[in-house]
Amino acid sequence: MVVGVLGIQGGFSKHKEMIDSMGYDTKIIRTPDELKKTDALIIPGGESTTFLNLFDKLDLEDAIKEYSINSPIMGTCAGMIVLATKVDSINYSPLGLINIEVNRNAYGRQKESFVDKVNIELNNRLIKFEAVFIRAPKIVNYGSDCDVLAKYKDDNIMVQNNSVLVCSFHPELTGNNVIHKYFLEKFM
């Protein structure tokens, strides 16, 4: 099985390191042709405006939408933003592959970025996870076809539907691979 990590910009190298260490074949994806040769896709954190700008120029928008019909996608931080149906103050249309509404940089600037322990429900078990929030977005609304897997205080921070898993924090940074493992086992 080949796991693709979108590498047009952003935190792709830490995702790749983690998936490599789990024994999967990992490929950095920058074109529609490269995407077709993978079985699952991770869209990392980074700058959502840069992502959406490049999706358009690299014909990745339609390619990812078509891909999602049969293959699972995980999005973290900016990856979550681009997968949403609605995003505040942005000039681009997001991909609309998970029915959530997202506000960008909702916790403030970098000096407000933080790390905290959160509870995540994976396969009906509650797991403690050290979540890293970096200029993080907030999920302010979600559709009835979505399940919430984790909250931080009053905010929903991890949501899934049948084929897409998103979180507002960075599961690739702490060395704990339970979220990647859940995605690759449950969604495949």
Partner 1 sequence: MAENKHFDLVKVGFAEQLKGGVIMDVTNAEQAKIAENAGAVSVMALERIPADIREDGGIARMSNPKMIKEIQKMVSIPVMAKCRIGHFAEAQVLQSLGVDFIDESEVLTPADEANHIWKHDFKVPFVCGCTDLGEALRRIAEGTALIRTKGEAGSGNIVEAVRHMRMVQSAIKKITTLGHDELVSYAKSNGSPLELVLYIKENGKLPVPNFAAGGIATPADASLMMQLGAETVFVGSGIFKSEDPEERAKAIVMATTHFDNPDIVSKASEGLGDAMKGLDIAKIPAEELLQTRGW
Please tell me whether residue 123 binds partner 1 under the rule CB under 8 A: no
d(CA 133, CA 78): 11
Q: Which of 100, 134, 149, 165 binds partner 1 (CB under 8 A)?
A: 134
- Contact call for residues 14 and 37 (beta carbons, < 8 A): no
Q: Helix or strand or coil: residue 116?
A: strand
Please tell me whether residue 173 binds partner 1 under the rule CB under 8 A: yes
The distance from CA 162 to its chain's CA centroid, rounded to whole angstroms, is 14
Q: Which of 3, 40, 43, 46 binds partner 1 (CB under 8 A)?
A: 46
Please tell me whether residue 87 binds partner 1 under the rule CB under 8 A: no
Q: Which tokens belong to 180?
A: 């990647």
Please tell me whether residue 109 binds partner 1 under the rule CB under 8 A: yes
Q: How far is the CB of 45 from partner 1 (least distance, A)?
A: 5
Q: Helix or strand or coil: residue 6?
A: strand
Positions in 141-170 near partner 1 (CB under 8 A): 170
Residues serving a catalytic function are 77, 170, 172
Q: Which of 141, 161, 174, 177 binds partner 1 (CB under 8 A)?
A: 174
Quick one: which of 134, 148, 188 has its CA closest to 19?
188
Binding mask 4-23 for partner 1 (x = CB under 8 A): ---xxxxxxxx---------
How are the residues of the chain apportioned to helix, strand and coil, as percentages rounded to the nearest 5? 30, 35, 35
- Contact call for residues 101 and 84 (beta carbons, < 8 A): yes
Chain positions contacting partner 1, by CB under 8 A: 7-14, 30, 44-47, 49-50, 53-54, 57-58, 77-78, 89-91, 104-105, 108-111, 113-115, 130, 132, 134-135, 170, 173-175
